Amino acid sequence: ITYSYSDTQQVHRFEWPDPNNPKNPKGRAKTYRQSHINGKGEVEWKKGNSPWSAYRIEEVVETLKGIQDDEPFVVLMLEGEPNVELARLHAIPALTLQGSSWDEAEITRAVEALQATGKNIVLAKLRDNDSTGDKKGRQIQSVCDRLQFPCIVIDPVAIYPDIPDKGDIKEILDNMDADEFIRR
């Protein structure tokens, strides 16, 4: 699956069944590869030196243009492009950072892009149910605190107590409809 971050930047997801992998309870294995188009118009199978915007942030910003300035609006931050696409299927505005880009500079750029809209936004980081998700949630909260941008980090267990280890929005939406998810 190819996820386009810009006209010149893409992430390619390769996935295959792997039911016997004890490290992956979901029964599959996956890998991601970045590519970019260099100055000569050639595809290079690496990230390149140009910054990457958050995945689907342009779509979120476009959605925000239709919202009144004082109307509160929640932007969901998820982990992984497939989860953003799943949220989009349920008309939930969401974004993510490129897999290797969960650092302060990348998070700051995404938050500043949301701030620049001038809208009444809360960034809601729905973390994955694992230690990496917890770490990413703390990183997001730290940057938002520094930038004085409203943010909540959502423990997925608070929404779906039976979520498995490493579970994410997919397992939540497999067990409830989008309206119930939003309500919780």
- Distance (Å, whole) CA 131 – CA 165: 10
How confident is the model at residue 20, as a pLDDT? 81
How confident is the model at residue 115, as a pLDDT? 96
Instruction: Read off the pLDDT of residues 10-29 as tens digits, 9 standing for 90 and up.
Output: 999 998 998 887 777 678 88
Q: Is the pLDDT of residue 100 over 90?
A: no
Other CB atoms within 10 Å distance of the CB of residue 165: 9
How confident is the model at residue 22, as a pLDDT? 72
The pTM assigned to this predicted structure is 0.90
- Distance (Å, whole) CA 32 – CA 118: 34
Residue percentage of the chain with pLDDT more than 70: 99
Instruction: Read off the pLDDT of residues 113-138 as tens digits, 9 standing for 90 and up.
Output: 999 999 999 999 999 999 999 999 99
Tell me the average pLDDT across 162-166.
Answer: 95
How confident is the model at residue 25, as a pLDDT? 67
Instruction: Read off the pLDDT of residues 27-85 as tens digits, 9 standing for 90 and up.
Output: 888 889 999 999 999 999 999 999 999 999 999 999 999 999 999 999 999 999 999 99
